[in-house]
Structure 1
Amino acid sequence: MTYRVCFVCTGNICRSPMAEAVFRARVAEAGLEDEVEVDSAGTGGWHEGEDADPRTLAVLADHAYDLDHTARQFQPSWFSRLDLVITLDAGHLRALRRLAPTEQDAAKVRLLRSYDPAAHGGDLDVPDPYYGGMDGFEECLEMVEAASAGLLAAVREHVEGRAA
Structure 2
Amino acid sequence: MKKILFVCLGNICRSPLAEGLMLSKISNMDNEEQFKIDSCGTADYHIGELPDERTRENAQENGLELKHRARQFDASDFNRFDHILVMDNANKMKIIGFATSEEHLQKVQLMRDYETEINLQGIDVPDPYYGGEEGFQNVYDILDRCTENLLNYHLQAIEN
1:22 paired with 2:54, answer no
Quote the residue 1:90 is aligned against.
89
| Counterparts of residues 6-155 of structure 1 (less than 5 Å) | 6-120=5-119, 124-155=123-154
- How much has 1:131 moved relative to structure 2? 0.8
Change (3 A) 1:32 1:124: farther
SS of the equivalent of 1:85 reads strand
SS of the equivalent of 2:40 reads strand
- How much has 1:67 moved relative to structure 2? 1.6
SS of the equivalent of 2:4 reads strand
**For residue 44 of structure 2, what is the amino acid of its counterpart?**
G
In structure 2, how many angstroms separate the alpha carbons of the residues matched to 1:125 and 1:157? 25
**For residue 89 of structure 2, what is the amino acid of its counterpart?**
A
Verify the 8 A CA contact 1:24 1:38 in the aligned structure 2: yes
In structure 1, how many angstroms separate the alpha carbons of the residues matched to 2:30 and 2:57? 26
Gaps of 5+ in 2: none
TM-score between the two structures when normalised by the length of structure 1? 0.91
Q: CA RMSD, aligned part only? A: 1.5
SS of the equivalent of 1:101 reads coil
- How much has 1:28 moved relative to structure 2? 2.1
SS of the equivalent of 1:120 reads helix
TM-score between the two structures when normalised by the length of structure 2? 0.93
Verify the 8 A CA contact 2:113 2:122 in the aligned structure 1: no
In structure 2, how many angstroms separate the alpha carbons of the residues matched to 1:121 and 1:143? 10
In structure 1, how many angstroms separate the alpha carbons of the residues matched to 2:30 and 2:136? 28
In structure 1, how many angstroms separate the alpha carbons of the residues matched to 2:121 and 2:79? 31
Percent of pairs with identical residues: 34
Runs in 1 of length 4+ with deviation above 4 angstroms?
none
**For residue 37 of structure 2, what is the amino acid of its counterpart?**
V
